[in-house]
Structure 1
Amino acid sequence: MIFDDFLVRAALAGIGVALAAAPLGCFVVWRRMAYFGDATAHAAVLGVALSLVLSTSILAGVLATSLIMATIVSTLSGRGYAMDTLLGVMAHSALALGLVAVSFVSGVRIDLMAYLFGDILAVGKADLAVIWAGAALVLGLMGWRWPNLLTATLNTDLAYASGIDPKREQLILTLSLAVVVAVALKVVGVLLIAALLIIPAATARPFSRTPETMALLAAAFGASATTGGLQAAFWLDTPTGPTIVSLAAMLFALSSLAGRLKTRIMKTVGQ
């Protein structure tokens, strides 16, 4: 066997998160909701803290707080609150409350860095099952709501004319993002979740002519970044989560360069 079992589990976990994050990341880019990923991830810190205080499952706590955050943001948006202001208030409030709650936990030693930056090498079989179950749920939901989500993203007036409620579609999108944040916590951690959502989608954008192509390419770039970053971290003895995101950033830089070269070539040919 070429790879150890823990490396195989880590690779499968990374691929599962990348597949789930790809279509959601596309909508985050299209809707300019990049800050929402940060806000939901910060809520995950509060979920970890409350789980430790209440001695409950960390996954359940993270999922619950992420879902609550998503619901509150979706409910309050458009009611006199600017989205960036609302997300800023919610994100920093959740992070502060989480850190305060951790200070009340006595007799429990936790590796805070693992929650902040992920600990993909510690993924077990149960974690892997949860990650792929969450990925399957999100992918199934995206496949079911894809046309409606695209219409609501393109034009709200067109959505209403087509009998689609944009607020409902936004709620579905935000709840899906909350699920991805919860299952990705083990892989890349709170501080890097938003990067795994946004960077692969942004990398795929220059090569995509249709939304479906962008989602598929984002999944490919995300999976490549996770598996390649995992190998690089193993060889270089660097933190795995940051290495994955660093490789994703390198792919984005190359994609941007290729996109600019393509534009210049097309302009030259057109002249």
Structure 2
Amino acid sequence: MLDDFMVRAALAGVGVAVAAAPLGCFVVWRRMAYFGDATAHAAILGVALSLAFSMSIFVGTMVVALLMALTVSFLSDRGYAMDTLLGVLAHSALAFGLVAVSFISGIRIDLMAYLFGDILAVSRADLAVIWGGAALVVALIGWRWSALLTATLNEDLAYASGIKPKREQLVLTLALAITVAVAIKVVGVLLIAAMLIIPAAAARPMSRTPEGMAVAAAAIGTLSVIVGLRAAYVFDTPAGPSIVCVAAISFLASSLLKGIRILG
């Protein structure tokens, strides 16, 4: 069954959706959208370093994404405005990554695949990495769910409950780095933030509990992958952007339903 490239693509996309769903909820709740974008942009530098030192793309992108997230956390405590800091680091990391890739000789690099993903070229080994990373992210978020939720809702309440918000921030940072590393093959660095944010944002109006929102986000992400791949096959459009377009339509539909409900 896995010899069918469309089946492998669908399984890879669902794996990314499952990993991104609970994490995307916290990104939305904490208003960390640009934080996720900056971490994703840094992944292209990880690709360049991985190719230069002949190591795994997954390892290189995860290490650089993690370093970027930790750098943002460190500098934000030093008085820098968060939006300015994220803007500088996100675009600088992407630019340095693209320049670094141009210096690598002897290796044929398809930059479009890394920028926008190449889900149709996913191999069995890629599937193992994606689902292994997805399982790790889900386990990590599930393990720290209560503490993460408390720290997100109210830092003072978290301190009173013996929870350290900074530690929970590091957990989210690690989960985000892993998600970026596994998603780069599927949707590319420029669309990773979209898969984190859009399904979670679409799930928010139709959810009554945090757990319900995470499940709904996973369902919307999975549906976006399947419908997006089918649309890409039928209309001969790029697979990664097609998936994100379907997720965006889901967000629009969710927002319209919310508006109708309010008016009614």
Q: Which runs of 5+ in 1 are unaligned?
A: 266-271
8 A Cα contact 1:120 1:240, kept in partner: yes
Q: In structure 2, give the amino acid aligned to 1:81.
A: Y
Is the aligned partner of 1:245 residue 2:249?
A: no
> How many matched pairs?
264
| Secondary structure at 1:186 match in 2 | coil
Coordinate RMSD, CA, aligned: 1.2
Q: Distance in 2 between matches of 1:162 and 1:85?
A: 33
Is the aligned partner of 1:181 residue 2:176?
A: no
Counterpart mapping for 1:21-32 below 5 A:
21-32=20-31
| Secondary structure at 2:191 match in 1 | helix
8 A Cα contact 1:71 1:175, kept in partner: no
2:68 alignment counterpart? 69
> How far does residue 101 in structure 1 lie from its aligned partner after superposition?
0.8
Is the aligned partner of 1:8 residue 2:12?
A: no
Q: Distance in 1 between matches of 2:35 and 2:111?
A: 22
> How far does residue 263 in structure 1 lie from its aligned partner after superposition?
0.7
> How far does residue 79 in structure 1 lie from its aligned partner after superposition?
2.5
Q: In structure 2, give the amino acid aligned to 1:69.
A: M
Q: In structure 1, give the amino acid aligned to 2:250.
A: L
Q: Distance in 1 between matches of 2:41 and 2:168?
A: 23
Q: Which runs of 5+ in 2 are unaligned?
A: none
1:227 alignment counterpart? 226
1:49-84 CA-partner distances (Å, limit 9, x unpaired): 111222222221111101111222222323312222
2:103 alignment counterpart? 104
Q: In structure 1, give the amino acid aligned to 2:69.
A: A
Q: In structure 1, give the amino acid aligned to 2:212.
A: T
> How far does residue 173 in structure 1 lie from its aligned partner after superposition?
0.4
- Normalised by the length of structure 2, the TM-score is 0.97
Q: In structure 2, give the amino acid aligned to 1:218.
A: A
Is the aligned partner of 1:208 residue 2:198?
A: no
1:268 alignment counterpart? none
Moved more, 18-27 or 98-107: 98-107
8 A Cα contact 1:47 1:65, kept in partner: yes
| Secondary structure at 1:189 match in 2 | coil
8 A Cα contact 1:138 1:180, kept in partner: yes
Q: Distance in 2 between matches of 1:59 and 1:4?
A: 23
| Secondary structure at 2:157 match in 1 | helix
Q: Distance in 1 between matches of 2:257 and 2:97?
A: 42
Q: Distance in 1 between matches of 2:84 and 2:174?
A: 20
2:152 alignment counterpart? 153
> How far does residue 4 in structure 1 lie from its aligned partner after superposition?
6.3
Q: Distance in 2 between matches of 1:24 and 1:106?
A: 37
1:269 alignment counterpart? none
1:162 alignment counterpart? 161
- Normalised by the length of structure 1, the TM-score is 0.95
1:124 alignment counterpart? 123
2:143 alignment counterpart? 144
